Amino acid sequence: MSGKMRFRGGIHPPEQKHYTEGKAIEVAPVPDIVRIPLQQHIGAPTKPCLTPGDAVKKGQMVGEPTAFVSAPVHSSVSGKVVEIAPYPHIFGADVPCVVIENDKEEKWAEGINPEGISDEELEKLEVDEIKKRVKECGLVGMGGATFPTHVKISPPPNKPIDTFIANGCECEPYLTADHRLMLEHPKEILLGMKLLARCVNAKRIVVAIEENKPDAIKSMREAVQSLGLPFEVVVLKTRYPQGAEKQLIKAITGREVPPPPGLPMDVGCLVQNVGTCRAAYWACKSNLPLIERVLSVTGDGVEEPRNLLARIGTPVKLLLDYCKIKPTARKVILGGPMMGLAQWSDEVVVNKGTSGILVLQQTTPAEYGPCIRCGRCVEVCPIGLVPSAISVAMEAEDYDAADAENVLDCIECGCCTYICPSKRPIVQWVKQAKSVLIPRKKAEAAKKKEKEAAKKS
């Protein structure tokens, strides 16, 4: 089946998938020291549940959630807790990390059975048990958003879900981790999809793949057929940002998710990354926490690009050395070139949302020119904003004007920055606007609540 609908706007940048799309997943080197960040998801950070000097086993919880929208974090090795201290995080600021010295003994924590229950027993798991295992194993969206999975599969009763979409689009240039997962582990993805879809009682279950991955399309269709599942494999046009939730839902169902705070569940849809679906399979089968993930180390700045299965907490430097970073490399980005984050230090570590490590030899010049009112950014914006107006407002540091242009609705896909002939850093300005406007609006809402409470009293 092919998607007949499409989302508005979007672009088709050079795909650059050739570096790693033909490379099978390898097991990455396991570090002597891992640093497990206590913040690896959208929502409340976790708090440490161990202290320096404590022994720890592989898969043991080291950070417990502090709210419903939170997810526990676990040790990816066995060994000893050395310290709990702030270290560089992908977002720029230091965050508390549980630092663990690896004893190389690979002792599993109690309750984890690597072999796991049979697929027949999986079928018999109750929905509440599936949700419990997904929550306790710390699953989050592995496409980069890192929203806690147990929250997404627990919509309120007044938001019924009829369509479950497994996102295998991987529309970011360079990245191929999801592509390889669909080639090498299709059965595990499909059975994980089945478990998650059962939690929301979805009747339509879809695997969404862009047409530039014909081998993955074939792999998933053959697996659907061999398992006898009533799932659809929907082939979509290759267009960025096809993998964004709202755009994917529009392309497959024709439904439009309302502007923020609108969510996919408002239109009866639930979207999960294929990597998250596979992680759900192992969480339910073996009580296996999310302690490792597949990522692409790619770009023209490494000698040996690879797809690696890396432990959470692995320093990026170790993987760069393993793939032989070139002395001419100039930029390291965690994620893809469109929405990834350039790093100032190679001491950051792999976390649950690290889909790739992109190394480039050439970087975009920092100089930019004035807006020439060409309208190209408006044409490609998948949300329907006017990025040029936002950029002009923020260049003048006029936050109220940017707010009036609905800057908070922006998904930061980078289409506007990519297409701009003046090379204006529009996404950078959007992030700056959000950093001021979001706290301001929260403060205003809190004051309003206080006033209302004072009136009632």
One DSSP character per residue, 313-334 reads: T-BHHHHHHHTTB-TT--EEEE
399 part of a folded domain: yes
Residue 222 lies in a domain: yes
Is residue 415 within a helix (H) or strand (E), and if so which, with residue range? helix 415-419
Domain CATH number, residue 189: 3.40.50.11540
Query: What is the pLDDT at residue 3?
Result: 46
Cβ neighbours around 365 below 10 Å, total: 7
The whole-number pLDDT of residue 116 equals 94
Q: Is residue 267 located within the same domain as residue 412?
A: no
One-letter amino acid at 175 equals L
**Residues 380 and 249 both lie in one domain:** no
Q: Are 160 and 280 part of one and the same domain?
A: yes
| Residues 199 and 284: beta-carbon distance below 8 Å | no
> Which pLDDT value is given to residue 354?
97
Residue 355 maps to a domain: no
Apex 288 CA angle, 285 and 291, nearest 5: 150
User: Is residue 234 situated within a structural domain?
Assistant: yes
DSSP state of 108: B
Centroid of chain to Cα 74: 18
The answer on 265 and 119 residing in a single domain is: yes
Q: Cα–Cα distance between 161 and 327 in angstroms, integer?
A: 51
User: Could you tell me if residue 147 is inside a domain?
Assistant: yes
Indicate if 251 and 400 belong to the same structural domain: no
**Could you report the per-residue pLDDT of 138-151, keeping only the tens digit for each?**
999 999 889 999 99
Q: What is the reported pLDDT for 123?
A: 92
Query: What is the number of structural domains in the chain?
Result: 2
Residue 51 located in a structural domain:
no
**Both 280 and 396 in a single domain?**
no
Query: Residue 58 carries which DSSP code?
Result: B
Q: Does residue 254 belong to any structural domain of this protein?
A: yes
Task: Let me know if residue 61 belongs to a domain.
Answer: no
Distance CA 96, CA 75 (A): 14
Same domain membership, residue 164 and residue 275: yes
pLDDT, residue 1, reads 44
Give the 3-state secondary structure of residue 18.
helix
CA 29, 102, 88, 347 torsion-angle sign: negative
The answer on 230 and 119 residing in a single domain is: yes
| Alpha-carbon span 309 to 354, nearest angstrom | 11
The pTM score is: 0.95
pLDDT < 70 stretches in the chain: 1-5, 364-365
Which of 286, 310, 343 lies at the terminal end of a domain, its last residue? 286
Residue finishing a domain among 286, 310, 328: 286
Q: Are residues 264 and 411 in the same domain?
A: no
Tell whether 135 and 272 lie within a shared domain.
Answer: yes
Predicted pLDDT of residue 363: 75
Please give the pLDDT value at position 272: 98
Whole-angstrom distance, CA of residue 125 vs CA of residue 284? 8
Q: What is the pLDDT of residue 5?
A: 59
What pLDDT score was predicted for residue 283? 98
Please answer whether residues 435 and 408 qualify as being in contact, where contact means their C-beta atoms are separated by less than 8 angstroms.
no
Say whether both 164 and 274 belong to one domain.
Answer: yes
What domain range includes position 244? Answer: 17-27+111-286
Out of 237, 253, 286, a domain closes at: 286
Same domain, 281 and 390: no
